[in-house]
Amino acid sequence: MLSQQHIDTVKATIPLLASAGTAITEHFYNRMFTHNPELKNVFNMTHQKTGRQPAALFNAIAAYATYIDNLEALTSAVMRIAHKHTSFNIQPEQYDIVGHHLIETLRELAPDAFTKEVEEAWTAAYVQLAEIFIKVEGDLYKEHAAQTGGWEGFRRFRVASKTPESELVTSFVLEPVDGQAVIDFQPGQYLGVKLHPKGAEFDEIRQYSLSTMANGKSYRISVKREGTGDTAGVMSNYLHNHIEVGDEIDVMPPAGDFHFQDKGTPVVLISGGVGLTPMQAMLDTLAKQNYSQPVSYLHACAHEGLHSFKDHVNGLKGALDLSVYTWYERAHELADSEFEGYMQLDDIKANLPLSNGEFYLCGPVGFMMFMKQQLLTLGVEADRIHYELFGPHQEV
């Protein structure tokens, strides 16, 4: 039970956390993977190498310590993380392992400050946090299993088709091996996909946005081939190079708190690069519904050869009041509503529903930060700007 003394003690350690920075979480992950290497079957080790996961965990710990006496302020963050955890099939017993290594990390990095009182406070705080996540994630697992076409744990799917969408993006349609229905999803959500690449020591789990509307029978993900040589993405390149029609993979039910919210207002979808994948699910869903409000689709990419779904999006103009705008960093020839250079909303601000639209962003972090700042400068309130990051979360 978390007491007021525990709360006060945890808050008093915030300066210590701030001074240590991500050294705490880097030490934590190194410690945990040394003692429990089986967890490398769950965690994305690429994010460990880039530092994105340690940074995300540090920010989460710091936020929890700050708002430990006002947990309602963390509701949206808890839901976002819980959704991501369910896509990895995180189980209650794994929280015990994480808690042990977190406490031991604090003890090892700050032996003088880590008194018995501090240990008791952080242990109680962690138990409280773990119980919150176990409850939320348990409810999500039950909800997914109870729905038509739902299931719990990983389910076997077969690749029904593999279709190039551009020079770097390929779509995979996945159908359940058991031939039964699949759970519907909110446009914008993603799938947790597990494979064991040939020659790899551990399983690889990644999250890929669903890139078309729900149909109750199959799912489609569209995957960008990431990097080359030593920087090549393990999972994306394996999917592109080795997974073919008929191959089987393991899939968790759809998850994610970023999705279209029907408020009966104009909609603006803004994407950079492969960030257009969840936007396809939104567009297809809106077209099927004959959405009555104007829809604006803004996309930026390096050049036309990397522009996925261009023809498909333009083909939806008959079903929607749809305006399409494109920015290429390099362009040989520009058509109407196409621009060269970085996306500048000033180019089309007169055509955007700045006063009442809902804006959805997805793409590289720098791109989304750039776009959000432009929207705020143009007078769009922050609560009308929704975004999704591929990988560990961070504020935009």
Which residues are catalytically annotated? 95, 137
Residue 273 in marked binding region: yes
Q: Find out whether 190 is annotated in a ligand binding site.
A: yes
d(CA 274, CA 231): 18
Instruction: Find out whether 274 is annotated in a ligand binding site.
Output: yes
Closest alpha carbon to 67 in 132, 115, 114: 132
Go through the chain and tell me how many residues it has.
396
The CA distances from residue 162 to 25, 172, 317, in Å, are 39, 5, 26
Q: What's the Rg (C-alpha) of the chain?
A: 22
Establish whether 206 is an annotated binding residue: yes
208 marked as binding residue: yes
392 carries a ligand binding annotation: yes
54 is in an annotated binding site: no
85 annotated to a ligand binding site: yes
Q: According to the annotation, is 276 in a ligand binding site? A: yes
* Residue 251 assigned ligand-binding role: no
Say whether 391 counts as a known binding-site residue. yes
Determine whether the annotation assigns residue 286 to a binding site: no
Residue type, 152: E
Residue listed under structure tokens 């109750």? 216
**Per the structure block, which two tokens stand in for 249?**
């993979």
Place of tokens 């081939």: 225
Q: Which single residue is written with the structure tokens 């759809």?
A: 254
Which residues line the annotated binding site for heme b?
85
Which residues line the annotated binding site for FAD?
190, 206-209, 389-392
Which residues line the annotated binding site?
85, 190, 206-209, 273-278, 389-392
Which residues line the annotated binding site for NADP(+)?
273-278
